Amino acid sequence: MPYLLSVGTWTPPFAVEQKDVLAFAREWFKNDFSDVDRLLSVFKNAEIERRHFSAPMDWFKKPRGFAEKNDLYVRTALEGGVASIHRCMENGCFLSEAVDPREIDALFFISSTGLAAPSLDARIINQLAFRSDIVRLPVWGLGCAGGTSGLSRADDFCRAYPEKAALVVAVELCSLTFQYNDRSKSHFIGTSLFADGAAAVLVAGDRSPLLKKSRRDVLPKTVASASWLVPRSEEVMGWDVRDDGLYVVFSKSIPELVKREFRPAAQKFLDAHGWQPEKLDYFIAHPGGKKVLDAYEQALGLEGESLQDARDVLRLFGNMSSPTVLFVLEKVMPKPSHPGVTGLSVSLGPGFSAEMLMLEWVNP
């Protein structure tokens, strides 16, 4: 079974305090909602202190066309993708020596906040001198679920080719989907949560020569993956694509869907392998927001510090969509572990859907 060898993350340079975004939103939406001060409580209750954007706050105070925003997306996503790969493949916390790009056999690129053709994985490959025969799979449209889905697809690849290794790269620049003329409540909520970031994870098959470069005696091994889709739930979460770009769709029913629908799906998945949610050592959850994390706890009967890593990532980075769960993974992987420790990576996304990946720490 494949192993997770290393992880690296990146955020753009414009760090913004939540209190400053709240002030921006108060001014921006003051004429659109008579109860704007009451609605602004979502900023205070989100348990977010800081986020990173791809442009300074003043940039968002002028109307921007889709072409201008997408051009900035392509430039910044390329920078973030390359930086996260460097940090992953040179991460001395996990690796005894750096991994050369020519040692990578597949690249899974995940993003849903901009468009590029050739896709950004091709641009990354050219910039970092990966081999010309590398397997490419750009994935668009999974939103927040993309991080765990990318790990699962890399798992599939490395199971089929156990001597090979794959990179999962997730880049989202949610701030660039801000719509100057969108004064909907979905956009208001999105403004309180979304941020930008990138992450890369190195996955190696159980006969990959890269295992010799691991610095750690115990590594997370993939056990199984699963996907889950709620029928006829397309309107719960996603993008409404219009002439001037992507408009966020964000239903207030998401926490209730997690409580009602997610437990049976997760329980069925775990039961098939004799695992119980309350016995997991790590719950590596995409922190879509405070209410979503609270819903996870209620749905799965989690207690104590199970979601602390996810809450810390939400507090310091906000919801970056697909890379966010990989930021949580970056907090979990360096922790002292022993054989037999278990974890579950979970991300929710448009559809309404979930992606799940079971992990067990073992001696490689």
DSSP 181-229: T--SHHHHHHHHHB-EEEEEEEEE-TT-GGGGGB--SSEEEEEEEEEEE
Between CA 343 and CA 359 the distance in angstroms is 5
Distance of CA 179 to CAs 78, 164, 195, 359, Å? 22, 42, 14, 39
Q: What is the pLDDT of residue 33?
A: 74
Residues with catalytic function: 144
Tell me: the pLDDT tens digits for 53-110?
A: 999 999 998 999 999 999 999 999 999 999 999 999 999 999 999 999 999 999 999 9
On whether the 219-362 domain is CATH 3.30.2350.10, my answer is: no
- Contact of 339 with 361, CB cutoff 8 Å: yes
Tell me: the pLDDT tens digits for 266-313?
A: 889 999 988 988 788 999 999 988 888 988 888 888 877 889 999 999
Between CA 75 and CA 233 the distance in angstroms is 33
Given a cut of 90, whether residue 189 has pLDDT beyond it is no
Between CA 43 and CA 36 the distance in angstroms is 12
Between CA 79 and CA 18 the distance in angstroms is 25
Quick one: 3-213 is in which CATH superfamily? Thiolase/Chalcone synthase (3.40.47.10)
Residue ranges per structural domain of the chain: 3-213, 219-362
DSSP H helical segments within 218-307, as ranges? 254-257, 263-271, 290-300
Q: For the chain, how long is the longest CA-to-CA vector? A: 62
Same fold, 3-213 and 219-362: yes
Phi, psi of 280 (to 5 degrees): -65, 140
Helices first, then strands: H and E counts in the chain: 12, 13
Tell me: the pLDDT tens digits for 42-66?
A: 888 888 999 999 999 999 989 999 9
The pTM of this model reads 0.95
Q: Which residue has the tokens 């002292």?
A: 336
Phi, psi of 24 (to 5 degrees): -60, -45
Average pLDDT score over the chain: 91
List the end-to-end C-alpha distance of the chain, in Å, as a whole number.
10
Q: How far is CA 42 from the centre of its chain?
A: 22
Given a cut of 80, whether residue 249 has pLDDT beyond it is no
Would you tell me the crossing angle of helices 185-193 and 18-29 to the nearest 10 degrees? 160
